[in-house]
Chain A
Amino acid sequence: MWSLQSTFLRLLAGLLTVVGVTGLLFVLRGRLDTPSIALVYVLAVGASTAWLGLLAGLAAAFAAFMLFNFLFIAPFYTLRILQPEAVIDLVVLLVVAVVISQLLGRAQAGMARAQAQEDATLRLYDLSTALIGETGFSGIARTLARSAVGAFRASAVRVTLRDGAMAVLADALEPEGAPAPDRAPRDIQKVLIGRGGSGEIQIWAEQPKPTEGEARLLRAFASEAALALERAQLAQAETRARVLEQSDALKSALLSSVSHELRSPLATILASVTGLASPEIEWDSAARMDLLTTIEEEADALNFLVGNLLDMSRIESGSLAPQRRSNALGEIVSAAVFRMRRALTGHPVHVEIPAELPPADVDYFQIEQVFANLMSNSAKYSPGGSGIRIVAEAADDLWLRVQVENQSPPIAEEQLQQIFDKFHRIYPDERITGTGLGLSICKGIVEAHGGKIWAANLRHGVVFHFTLPRAASLPAAAEEP
């Protein structure tokens, strides 16, 4: 089926149809009687109306009547009508044209309505699909505004969302970046949100009034938006609950590990002290010395733990701020080995740090804590009697690379990263005690120095690598190994 856009062309086409049909009829006029000719004209008028619209149909009807009258009704070649039936012919032609165009118009309007409805449904569907992915308020506002521009042929759309206290949660204007129109919006649609809060869709458009379909679609947009907002609120509440739950779980993990780690040395200290103070017991000097040594060692252990806890809280609050100076790594390692000598009983430490190793630009105490933690971990997880090897070398002009190797059982590949997470412990039961803080503190300290730390499995053991910045004061070339 073809279509012609402009009214003039349609009229012309209607007239041409009738003229063409007339030509054909004129050729055949000897063989056709008048009623048949009239029927053919009815057909032409009907077809013109159906294809070209009411105006073309009416024009065709008049033209047909004139030509019919002029050519086929006696007296021929005049427009005079002798018989009154001819008037009936004209009326029939006109009525046919009007009736057909009415019927067709109604069908077309119905179709247009259906089309509009389908269009609205599609827009709504697109909107709800787009909104499903949005869990943030600003995302919802933006999506809503963007969809509304298309759906309402709007020049601008503004979506404002407020919470229960009327504070603005999100404000989106489409087209993005354009200034808000200074005239009043054509439509304002409220969005009511179930769990408190409200929203507003403002629409500016060229058309002075929205069609009925548009008004309906706007209300549907508002309820779709309300649903999306409610979903977003629920999702946020759920996220908040989950975050709280996680931080609760972390807190109780910290509490349980810290209480175990603090109480174990405290138990020994308290038992020893109350034992020494007890009038029930007579102490010989060796036993007394033994208990005093135990107390000293446990006090050391407590001090180490408290140092880790402090570091952890500094890392958490972002106040770790290393006091970086030029330091010889060898000295730091010796200090750490000395401090941890009791925990390292039965684990000989082999330090391979060349004397000519360039100095590191690090915080002495923090890096000592890194070595202490890595060695304490190594001693805890590797078999008694196995050694710990510490190697350091210049990686390039800017960095030193340090390795701490032990002979502990291999760490599952997927755990190699996680072991640096706070409270992450490979053996979550209490078989090997610990706070799960040591490695995460190492990571925090090394990263505060700009370095990286990672772990890898060896054939018989595990190695921790980390990088530390070289002190810049010395010429770089001289220290290359």
Chain B
Amino acid sequence: MTSGPRVLVIDDEPQILRALRTILTAKHFVVTTASRGEEGLALAAAQPPDLVILDLSLPDLDGTEVCSRLREWTNVPILVLSVRERERDKVAALDRGADDYLTKPFGIEELLARVRVALRHAAQAQGERRRVVRAGEVTIDLGERRVTRGDEEVRLTAKEHRLLAFLAAHPGRVLTHRAILSAVWGPEDADHVEYLRVYIRQLRLKIEADPDRPQYILTEPGVGYRIILDG
């Protein structure tokens, strides 16, 4: 396999670039690297990659700026790698269009898993928008507004359904509290994280096997939620 998915890595530390290039190449990705933001943006435009791995600390542009500039024209999944571990840094990157966030240092298995999820969902998003999605024994029919768990129909309120549908429309992506609240409740309620907690809890009670150890609707502490669907 010579032409695997194309990955663009943008990071200003030559050593991590070198390590990621070696590892991802060994995993049959086609790797291009950039050590500056502008260079990364130019490379992404010249040869659109299937995935961007992005550091937030760059010598010329801030990583979040690179996120927004990429989002102006592409939906390529962006995986942020950064030593910044504060929640507001994560939220800033995710709100500017990043799909996922991994703090340095990280194990390579974790990175590869996130890369796989991102690529899979990007492939789904590129294909026809599916009306019916599955997460384990839960089936969500977005068109019919029907959710079933096993053979039983799950009764959802209108708000719960809108929330689940919004999450399911962005599988694998970390959605920030603000993004979810703005989309489901409206921009004026964007700060009411407590609404979201209540509704997420109700959704988990209805669709998760063990609401305290959720499998599908995952919490990103202090940042937001993401839904994991079957490929």
Chain A interface residues toward B at CB < 8 A: 259-260, 263-272, 274-275, 278, 280-284, 287, 290-291, 294, 297-298, 301, 429-433
Contacts and interface: CB of A to CB of B under 8 A. Distances in A.
B176 interface: no
A263 B22 contact: no
B109 interface: yes
Interface string B1-15: 000000000001101
Nearest to A427: B59
Nearest to A264: B13
A281 B19 CA distance: 14
A398 to B, nearest CB: 43
Nearest to A297: B15
A257 to B, nearest CB: 11
Interface of B: 12-13, 15-16, 18-20, 22-23, 25-27, 57-60, 62, 81, 83, 104-109, 111-112
8 contacts: A260-B57, A270-B108, A271-B106, A272-B19, A274-B109, A275-B19, A275-B22, A433-B57
B105 A270 contact: yes
A278 B109 contact: yes
Contacts of A260: 57, 83
A431 B23 contact: no
Given A280-B109, A432-B59, A433-B57, A271 B26 contact: no
Nearest to B58: A431
A280 B115 CA distance: 14
Closest 4 CB pairs between A and B?
A: A267-B104, A267-B105, A275-B23, A430-B57
Contacts of B23: 271-272, 275, 281, 291
Nearest to B104: A267
A281 B59 contact: no
Contacts, number: 90
A282 B28 CA distance: 10
A141 B111 CA distance: 68
Contact of A274 (B13, B60, B108): B108
A132 to B, nearest CB: 44
Given A264-B83, A267-B105, A294 B18 contact: yes
Interface centre among B19, B25, B57 (most CB of A within 10 A): B19
Contacts of B108: 270-272, 274-275, 278
Contact of B16 (A271, A431, A432): A271
Contacts of A264: 13, 15-16, 83, 104
Contact of A259 (B58, B62, B83): B83
Contacts of B20: 271
Contacts of B83: 259-260, 263-264, 267
Nearest to A283: B26
A275 B26 CA distance: 9
Contacts of A284: 26
A432 B59 CA distance: 6
Nearest to A266: B105
B27 A294 contact: no
Contact of B106 (A267, A287, A290, A429): A267
Contacts of A269: 105
A42 B99 CA distance: 113
B27 A263 contact: no
Contacts of B62: 429
Contacts of A430: 57
A271 B105 contact: yes
A290 B135 CA distance: 41
Contacts of B104: 263-264, 266-267
B104 to A, nearest CB: 4
A433 B58 CA distance: 9
Contact of B15 (A282, A294, A432): A294
A270 B106 contact: yes
A433 B35 CA distance: 13
B13 to A, nearest CB: 5
Nearest to B57: A430
